[in-house]
Amino acid sequence: MGITMEITLALKHNFFYTATMKITVDVKKCLGCGTCMALAPRTFKINKKGKAEVLPGKIDSPAVIKMAAENCPTGAISIH
């Protein structure tokens, strides 16, 4: 198992927090290709080390985040 970056986000729906989502980026698997950032720009960024990381605060919809994770070429992003 590689080094991970984790964030737990409360998902907001109609001004009420309805669920939480834990997003993990395995930085040892991450290539830094930017696919996640292109698909979910409010959730992911590429850091100074060239690896994906989860942004705090406003996020994309759960469906968009899931799509970004599914399209990661190395499977570095997992959602719990």
* Whether domain 4-79 has CATH 3.30.70.20: yes
Q: Alpha-carbon distance 54 to 6, whole Å? A: 8
**Residues β-bridged to residue 22:** 8
Instruction: Determine the pLDDT at residue 49.
Output: 95
pTM assigned to the model: 0.77
Model confidence over 40-68: pLDDT tens digits?
999 999 999 999 999 987 788 889 999 99
**The pLDDT of residue 2:** 43
Q: Residue 69 has what pLDDT?
A: 96
Q: Which residues pair with 19 in a beta bridge?
A: 11
The ranges assigned to domains in the chain are 4-79
pLDDT the model gives residue 12: 56
Looking at the chain, the whole-number percentage of residues with pLDDT higher than 70 is 76
Cβ neighbours for 40, distance < 8 A, ≥ 6 positions apart: 59, 60, 64, 65, 67, 68
Q: What is the pLDDT of residue 3?
A: 46
